[in-house]
Chains A and B, each alone.
Chain A
Amino acid sequence: RKEVEQDPGPFNVPEGATVAFNCTYSNSASQSFFWYRQDCRKEPKLLMSVYSSGNEDGRFTAQLNRASQYISLLIRDSKLSDSATYLCAVKNQGGKLIFGQGTELSVKP
């Protein structure tokens, strides 16, 4: 079983929809949590870090649930430009950053 797991999707949603992704991690000692965005044939880029109290950046909200060992990403009012693969990442106590499989999002007009 992978240390970090995501539903690979794809998620096909209309513009304006709200979509949520979940990611579970198995190492309870994990220290830091992130969401990355990857466009087709490009390198991943940080979308947002995930804090214990939850955090919001415009249309994007990230949550961390340490008790259940999952993180989530909510995208409100989806835009065509949000189409990409979203990767969750977890940094363990050894400093290694482990990624999930990625969830593909396709926003349609």
Chain B
Amino acid sequence: NAGVTQTPKFQVLKTGQSMTLQCAQDMNHNSMYWYRQDPGMGLRLIYYSASEGTTDKGEVPNGYNVSRLNKREFSLRLESAAPSQTSVYFCASSEGVWVLTFGAGSRLTVL
């Protein structure tokens, strides 16, 4: 049972480049999340999807777009990367009020 799988694990981009972070879960969870984590800032919610076909902004959505492709997959897209988006990105999933299961994280550096 893989849980939550994120790809890529590491990525270096130049300012202005675009990329998509992929996330897939095999637990049949309805809810999926994207967070970013920066030193001293904890985890900040970027976007949230309560169920297939729905998405909602979190605390820091600017500069990002998401797609809930199906129940399993929730992708995060940076259309024009900026150095301020250098961070560790975590995808997570949950079912109802139950706890989140996180992926291993994706380390993104924007030069």
Chain A 1-39 against B: per-residue CB contact (8 Å), 1 yes, 0 no? 001001010000000000000000000000110100000
**A57 contacts B by Cβ under 8 Å:** no
A6, A34, A44, A46: residue with the most chain B Cβ atoms closer than 10 Å: A44
Chain B 34-66 against A: per-residue CB contact (8 Å), 1 yes, 0 no? 010000111111001010000010110000000
With a CB–CB cut-off of 8 A, which chain A residues contact B41? 101
With a CB–CB cut-off of 8 A, which chain A residues contact B35? 99
Of B42, B56, B97, B99, the residue contacting A96 (CB under 8 A) is B56
With a CB–CB cut-off of 8 A, which chain B residues contact A8? 40
Give residues of chain A (41-56) contacting chain B, Cβ–Cβ below 8 Å. 42-46, 49
Rounded to whole Å, the gap between the CB of B30 and the closest CB of chain A is 9
Main SS of the interface on chain B?
strand
Are the CB atoms of A96 and B103 closer together than 8 Å? no
Are the CB atoms of A96 and B48 closer together than 8 Å? yes
Q: Which residue of the partner chain B has the closest CB to A100? A: B42
Bound Cα distance A95, B98 (Å): 11
A residues in contact (CB < 8 Å) with B: 3, 6, 8, 31-32, 34, 42-46, 49, 87, 89, 91, 94-102
**6 closest A-B pairs by CB:** A101-B42, A43-B102, A99-B43, A46-B99, A102-B42, A99-B42
Q: List 10 A-B contacts (CB under 8 A).
A: A43-B102, A44-B102, A46-B99, A49-B99, A95-B48, A96-B48, A97-B92, A97-B94, A100-B42, A101-B42
